Amino acid sequence: MRDLLFAAADIWMIAIGVICGVKFIRNYSNWLIGLEWIIMGTSGSNFLIYGLLKAGTDSPMYHFAFFLDAFSRSIGFTVILVLGLLMVTHRYKPTTAVEVGAFALAAVLGYFLSEFAIEIGTPGKVFFLVMALGVSAFFVYYGRRLWALGEHAHAVWVWIATALNVVVASIYDFWHIQGDDANHTLFYILALFTWGLAMLVIYRSYVAFDAHNRAVDGAGSAGTVVVQGAEQA
């Protein structure tokens, strides 16, 4: 039963990551969140295959999974995500250099934090937790912005996903769920479900926020036309 729930949670995250990631790029030209979502989906796919094959720690899939996990927990699902959300909250337009630099930094940190995890030890675990709490604080602010726009349902869902994300981040490296097995199956069921939910909630709220921005821009343009017409008359 646990294996089925694990597979379902993983497939859920994979589907959300790939589908919403492509939509972020295709519909909103948001390469920051779009690529991070696709990377999350790729991570989930690799994790699923690794689990089904029951590959060992010497498998390339194990090291790849460790790298992608560190990639997203350090910069991907934190700094890159915040930069992507700033595109709707603050009309931020990142340059290509910023986008490439952010992913390059995530790749470098992901490599060192995964390959030298044992040597780094507790400071690395604390770093991941601090980054998770930092992005969660931004989510609280993001939810408040949505609430102010009248998007109350989206705001509440953002806060729910944020609360779950804090729980997962707090458990990840510091607490073993009672009754869980050696592979941390119960934890990963919760984590994969939470990450998939967070990605879906962020996508849907982003769509609503972008629609609001477009409506404001449209109203402003219409107002300008009316004023110009009055002046011409």
In the chain the first and final C-alpha atoms are separated, in Å, by 74
Say which residue the tokens 């909103």 belong to: 28
* Average pLDDT, integer, range 94-101: 97
The amino acid present at 79, given as its one-letter code, is: V
DSSP 25-56: HHHH--HHHHHHHHHHHHHHHHHHHHHHHT--
Q: Is the pTM of this model over 0.95?
A: no
What are the backbone dihedrals phi and psi of residue 95, each rounded to the nearest 5 degrees, phi first?
Answer: -80, 165
**pLDDT tens by residue, 30-54:** 999 999 999 999 999 998 998 888 7
pLDDT at 200: 98
Which residues have a Cβ under 8 Å from the Cβ of 226 and sit 6 or more positions away? none
List of domains in the chain = 2-219 (1.20.1070.10)
pLDDT > 70 fraction of the chain, expressed in percent and rounded: 94
On average, the pLDDT of the chain sits at 91
Q: Counting beta carbons within 10 angstroms of the beta carbon of residue 29, is it exposed (0 to 12), middle (13 to 18) or buried (19 or more)?
A: exposed
- The DSSP string of 52-86 is HHT--TTSHHHHHHHHHHHHIIIIIIIIIHHHHHH
Residue 208 to residue 203: CA distance in whole angstroms: 9
pLDDT at residue 227 in the model: 38
- Please tell me the predicted confidence (pLDDT) of residue 53: 82
C-alpha closest to that of 40 among 5, 72, 12:
72
* DSSP 8-state code for residue 90: S
Other C-beta atoms lying within 10 Å of the C-beta of residue 210: 15
Backbone torsions φ then ψ of 179, nearest 5 degrees:
90, -5
Residue carrying structure tokens 């009248």: 150
Cα torsion 72, 47, 28, 89: sign: negative
| pLDDT value at 16 more than 60 | yes
Other beta carbons less than 10 A from residue 216's beta carbon:
11
